Amino acid sequence: MYATRARQGRPEPFAVHPGIAERLGLPYMDGALALSGIALAVFSVFTLSQATLHDVPGDPYYFADRQGIYAALGIVGMYLLTRIDYSRFRELRVGIYTFLCVSISLVFVFGFAARGSRRSFELPFFSFQPSELGKLLLVLALAGFVIDGARSGSERQRTVRYLCLGLAPAALVFLQPDLGTALVFGAITLAVMYVGGVRWTHFAAIGAALVAVTAIVLVAAPAVGTPILKGYQAERLTSFLNPSADPSDAGYQQNQAKIAIGSGEKTGRGDRATQTRLDFVPERHTDFIFAVIGERYGFIGAALVLSLYALLIWRALRIVTLSKNSYGTLVAGGIAAMLLFQVFVNVGMNLGIMPITGIPLPLMSYGGSSVLATFLAIGVLQSIHMQARLSQKGRFAW
Amino acid sequence: MTNRLALRIALFGGVAVVLFGVLFFRLWLLQVLDGEKYLAEAKNNRTRSYRVSAPRGEILDRNGKVLVGNRTSLALQVNPRKLPEDPVQRRAELSQLAELTHSTLRRVRKTMHEELKLAPAAPVTLRRDVGHFLVYYLQENQDRFPGVETQRVFVRDYPDGTLTAHILGTVGEIEKEQLKEPRFRGLQPGDEVGQSGVEDTYDRFLRGQPGLTRVQVDAFGEPTPNGRLIAKPPAPGDSLKLSIDEKVQAAGEAALSERGLPGGFITMDVHTGEILGLGSFPTFEPALFTRPLTQKQVDDTYLNPAAPLVDRAAAGLYPTGSTFKLITAIAALESGKLSLGEVIDDPGVLEIGGQEFKNAGEAANGAVSLVQALEVSSDVFFYTLGYRMWNTGELQHWAHALGIGRPTGIDLPIEDETLLPSQHWRNQLYKEGGTERPWSAGDNVQLATGQGDLQTNPLQMAIAYATLANGGTVVTPHVGKEIDDPAGRVLREFNPKPRRHIHIDPEYRAAILEGLHDAAQNGGGTSFDVFGDFPIPVAGKTGTAQRPPHADQSWYGVLAPYPNPRIVTFVTMEEGGFGAESAAPAAKKILEAYFAGRLSKEAGSAGGEG
C-alpha cells in the first residue's frame, strides 16, 4: 500500500523500487524496541542453558531449548502482528473480550492443575495459560471500550463500567487462584483508564477503596475468621516486610534470593554460584530467574538486563506519544503499564522490596505462554509504530 | 495529542523512571555495597558439610597381585547434638566411652572440641576400626549411650601380613606439621595420609578425594527435612602398581627370615632400575598402624634395638667387604693404574708404611691377573690397586660416579646418610678434631676392599653393579611402575630417566664380569660351593665386611644371567660371616624364584633326557 503510494506520488528520493527491507516494512518498525525484546529473550535462553543443566536428568538443555523455541515463535508472532493494523482490534473488542473471559473460565473445566491451582490447558506441545495472553487481550478490548464509551453515560458511570470490565477477568484469574496475574489485570485496567483520561478524583476514590480492601483482606477478614486469601498467599504478600529466619516460609525464600543476588557482587560467581545452583532459591527458572542472573553475572549482568527493560519500556512510552489515534495511545499505554508493572514487581520481589506474587519476568522467566504473549504485545506496539510512521510518511508524501 | 494527555504520559514516564531508579539503586546496594556480606552469607548459608572419606587406592605388584587393599570397618562416632544436655550425665557418658575406647575423658573432649570447630553439626569420630563386640555392646545398651553412632570407614588391609612392609610403608592420621605442607593442602585433621614407604611417596595418587555431603540445617542446627543439598560422592584413590614381583619379594624375605639375621636384599632390573624385590629383616606389620598402638607395640617397633622399621636394604649403613672390589677394578682400569694383562704377585700380605695388610685367611694366591684376583678374591691384589690410587682420588671418583655415597633418587622416603671416605673428607674431619689422624694410604687400601669407614647399603651397590652390567648407565632405582585409575586404566607410567651415563670400556666390563662369573661358577671361586651347580650362568661376588665389635657381615652381589645380565641381586646379613656362608645362599633362593619358569623347564628337559 505504501509502496504504491510512493510510486503514484512524487518520486521517492531513496527507494523508487522498494528494496527487501522496504517490502518487509523494516524501516517503519521500531528497531530498538524489537532488539531489546529479542536481546532479553536471548539472554533468557543463555541463562537457562547455564543454570538449569542438571534440572532435568538426561536433558541438560530442556528448559533452554524450549524457551528458545517459544522465543522464536514469539518473534514470528511479533512480526506478523506488526503487519496488521492494530485498529482492527478496536472493532473486534467485544469478540476479544468474550474470548478472554471464556478462555479463562474454561481453565476451570478443562484446566491442568499444578501446585493447587488451575491456570493452563495441556496442549500437545506445551501447556497454554490463557491468562498470559489474556493480559494483552484485556488491553486491546478495554482500550476499545474506553474509546467507544467516551460519549455514553456520566463520567462516574463510565469509570465504574471500565472498572467492572477490567476487574471481571481479574476476578476469574484470582479464583484460579493466580493472585499475581490478577494484579497485572488490575494494573492494566487502571493504566488504560488513566491514559483514557479518567478524572483524578475517581482515581483518588479507587485508591482509597484499594487501601480499604487491602486492610480487610490482610487484617480484618482473617481476624473475624473468613480469610479471603489462601494462607500462603497472605504470607507471601507480607513476608517481604519481615524476612524471617524460618527456612520453610516465604520470607526465607525471598531472603535466599536476596543473598543470591548480593553474593553475585560486581562480576558474578558464574558456575561457582551456590544459591541458585543448590536449590536455595526456589523456582529459579521462572519467578526467581533474576536472582540467577544476579548471582551468576553480578551487577554487570543484572544491570544490563534492567537496562534492556528500561529501553523496552521507554520505547513503549514513546509509542504512546507517537500513535496516530487515541486507540493506539490507550493500547500502547496499557502495554507499557503491563510491562512496567511486571518487571517492577518481579525484580522487586527478587531484590526483596516487593512481595512474592508469582508474576513472571517478561521474556526472561521460562514459560511459553508468557514469552509468546509478551512478544505479541511488542508486536502490537510495533503495529502502532508502523501505522504512525506510515501516516506521517503519507502526510509528507502528499 | 492534548496537553492533558501529554501531562499524563509525562507523569507515567516519571513513575517509570522512579521505579527503575529504585530497582537500580537496590541492585547496586545489594551487589556492590553489601556484596561481600551476602557472599559470606551465601557461603555458609546455614549448611553444614560432612566429609565422607574416600578409599585409598590399592597397591599391586607388577603382575596385579594386591599387596595392600581396603576393608571396611566400623568407626565409633558421637553425635554431639544427641548427647544428654545435663552436664553431669554428659560427662558420665563421655568418660564411659573413653574407657571403652582405651582413651581418657580429656582426650575425648579434646577430639570433640577440635572436630566440632571444623564441622559444627557433624558427628565426631572417636575411634576408627572398633571391634564388633564393642559395637554390639553399644547397640544393646543404646539407651545408656544416646548420641553414639557407628559408621563404616575404610581401613588398609594387608593380605600378606608383613610382605613388602618396608616398601609399602604405613598410613596414619595427618599430623599437625604435615597440614602446613603444600602437598597436603586441603586436608583436614583426621584425614589419613601415607606416613612412610610408597604410601607416602605416591600419596597424592593413592589418597583419592573425600566426598562431601552438604546438609541444610535450620537455626537450631538440625538438618531440615529433604535438606540434603548435594552429595559429592567420594572419589576412590588411584591404584599404584609396583615393579615388585611378589614371588621374588617373598623368596627374598623368606631367605632373610630363615637365617634370622638382620639384613636386607634387593633385586633390580639392570637396564631400567625397576626394583623386583626389596626387603629388610626384621620386619613389621603395617596393619598395626591402622589403629592406635598399644604401649607394647610401641616398644616392639620404635624402641626395639633390632629396629624393624629400618629398611636395611635401602637405608642401611655398612661397609661392603669384597663386593666393593668390582668398583676398585673399574677405577684402576679406567684411570690407567692397572692394565688388563697385568699380573700382580700375591704373597698373602702387603706391607705399606710399616703396616701389614693380610689376605682373609692368610691365603697366598701367587701371581694373579684381574680375572683370577676376582675369582679367588685376592685382597693383596686390590690392596695394591688401592695403594696405587691412595692420593689421586681416582677410586673415589669412580665409586662416586657409580653411585656410592650419594642419593640414588629412589622413590622411597629415605634420607641419604651414606659415606664414601675420601682424602678430603678425612682431612676435613681431622682439621675439625673429629679424628686423630689425617688420610693415609691405609684408608684407601681399606676402601679398595670395602672395609674401613665406608658406609653404604645393598641399594647403592646394586646400582654400581647394574651400571657395569648395562655398560655404563647409572639407573634410577624405583618401585613405582604405573598409576591405574579405579577402573584399571593406566593413567601414567613411571620410567625415571637414568641418573647419568659413564663410560666403561667394554673389554674391562667383559674381564670383570668374567672374574665374577669364575668366582661364582668356576672350581676355585669364592661362591662355587653355592652357585657351582646353578644351571643358569651368573656372575657373583662375595663380601665379608669387618664391623668390630660385631661379627663379620656377610655380603653377596650377583648379576644374572651371565654374560648379559638382566638383573642384579644384592644381599647382606649382619653377623652372617663369610659372604658364601649366609648372603650367597639367600641370593641363590631369590634367583631361583626369579628364574623359576626357566629352571623348571630345564629340570623337566633334563629329566626327560635322563
Smallest CA–CA distance from A272 into chain B, residue: B43
Q: Is the pLDDT of residue A4 over 60?
A: no
**Which residue has better confidence, A352 or A114?**
A352
Tell me the per-residue pLDDT of A150-198, one tens digit each, with 9 for 90 and over. 777 888 888 999 999 999 999 999 888 888 899 999 999 999 999 988 8
Query: Strands B66-78 and B59-60: what pairing?
Result: antiparallel
The answer to whether the Cβ–Cβ distance between B24 and A306 falls below 8 Å is yes
Mean pLDDT score of chain A: 84
Q: pLDDT (tens digit, 9 = 90+) per residue, B145-203? A: 887 877 777 889 999 889 999 999 999 888 888 888 888 887 877 788 999 999 999 99
The yes-or-no verdict on residue A313 having pLDDT over 50 is yes
Grid look-up 553489601 returns B34
Inter-chain CB proximity B23 and A351 less than 8 Å: yes
Q: What is the 3-state secondary structure (H, E, C) of B419-468?
A: ECCCHHHHHHHHHCCCCCCCCCHHHHHHHHCCCCCCEECHHHHHHHHHHH
- pLDDT tens digits for range A36-64: 999 999 999 999 998 887 777 778 888 89
Tell me the pLDDT band of A397, cut-offs 50, 70 and 90: very low
Is residue B118 classed as helix, strand or coil in its secondary structure?
helix
Stronger pLDDT, A214 or B242, i.e. the higher one = B242
What distance in Å separates the CA atoms of residue B338 and residue A207, rounded to the nearest whole number? 118
Chain A contact present for B224, CB below 8 A? yes
Give CA–CA dist B483/B478, Å, rounded: 14
pLDDT score, position B415: 84
DSSP letter assigned to residue A217: I
HSE of A122, CA atoms in CB hemisphere, 13 A: 6
Predicted pLDDT of residue B218: 45
Q: What is the pLDDT of residue A20?
A: 81
Query: Residue A278 and residue B36: Cβ atoms within 8 Å?
Result: no
Q: For residue range B324-371, list pLDDT tens digits in order.
A: 999 999 999 999 999 998 999 999 899 988 888 988 877 888 999 999
- The nearest CA of chain B is from the CA of A264 a distance in Å of 6
- For residue B230, which residues of chain A lie inside 8 Å, CB to CB? 278
Q: Tell if the CB–CB gap between A353 and B32 is shorter than 8 Å.
A: no
Element (H, E) at B345: strand B344-346
Residues of A in contact with B22 (CB under 8 A): 344, 348, 353
State the Cα–Cα distance between residues A337 and A377, nearest whole angstrom: 12
B60: β partners: B66, B241
| Longest CA pairwise span in chain A (Å) | 76
| Chain A interface, best mutation among B1, B3, B27, B226, by max A CB count within 10 A | B27
- Does A262 sit within 8 Å of B27, measured CB to CB? no
Between CA B232 and CA B215 the distance in angstroms is 12
Measured CA to CA, the distance from residue A157 to residue A328 in angstroms comes to 24
Torsion over CA: A191, A194, A200, A205 (sign): negative
Q: Is A262–B37 a contact, with Cβ atoms under 8 angstroms apart? A: yes
CB–CB of B263/B295 below 8 Å? no
For B503-523, the pLDDT digits (tens) are 999 999 999 999 999 999 998
pLDDT in tens, A204-224: 999 999 899 888 887 777 777
Question: What is the structure's pLDDT at B77?
Answer: 81
> What is the pLDDT at residue A272?
74
Higher-confidence residue of A105 and B227: namely A105
Flag whether the pTM goes above 0.95: no
pLDDT of residue B19: 95
Count how many pairs of residues, chain A against chain B, have C-beta atoms within 8 Å: 127
Give pLDDT tens digits for A95-105: 999 999 999 88
Q: Round to whole Å and give the CA distance between B375 and B352.
A: 24
Cα B571 to Cα A34, B261, B266: the distances in Å are 86, 12, 7
Percent of chain B with pLDDT over 70: 93
Give the per-residue pLDDT at A333.
95
Confidence of residue B79 (pLDDT cuts 50, 70, 90): confident
Q: Quick one: pLDDT band at residue A6, thresholds 50, 70, 90?
A: very low
Please say if the pLDDT value at position A18 is more than 70: no
B6/A265 CB distance under 8 A: no
pLDDT of the residue at B609: 40
Asked if B36 reaches chain A (Cβ–Cβ under 8 Å), the answer is yes
Could you give the CA distance from residue A193 to residue A204 in angstroms, rounded to a whole number? 13
Residue B532 has pLDDT above 70, yes or no: yes
CB-CB neighbors (< 8 A) of B46 in chain A? 247
C-beta atoms of B26 and A351 within 8 A? yes
In one-letter notation, the amino acid at residue A19 is G
Q: Specify whether the CB–CB gap between B483 and B240 falls below 8 A.
A: yes
What is the bridge-based pairing of β-strands A117-122 and B223-232? unpaired
Nearest to residue B318, comparing CAs of B197, B404, B411, B430? B404
- The yes-or-no verdict on residue B139 having pLDDT over 60 is yes
Cα–Cα dist B349/B360, whole Å: 10
> What phi and psi values does residue A266 have, to the nearest 5 degrees?
-75, -45
Residue B192 has a pLDDT of 85
A199, pLDDT greater than 70: yes
If you compute the radius of gyration of chain B from its CA atoms, what whole number of angstroms results?
34
ipTM here = 0.88
Residue A16: pLDDT band with limits 50, 70, 90: low
Q: Given pLDDT bands bounded at 50, 70 and 90, which one contains residue B101? A: confident
Q: Which residues of A touch B26 (CB under 8 A)?
A: 348, 351-353
Are B438 and B236 spatial neighbours (Cβ–Cβ below 8 Å)?
A: no
Give residue A13's pLDDT band: very low, low, confident or very high (50, 70, 90): low
pLDDT, residue B109, reads 83
Q: How far is B227 from chain A (nearest CA, A)?
A: 10
Query: Which pLDDT band, with edges at 50, 70 and 90, does B20 fall under?
Result: very high
Flag if A258 and B38 touch (Cβ within 8 Å). yes
* B119: closest CA of chain A, how far (Å): 19
A46 shares contact with chain B (CB less than 8 Å): no
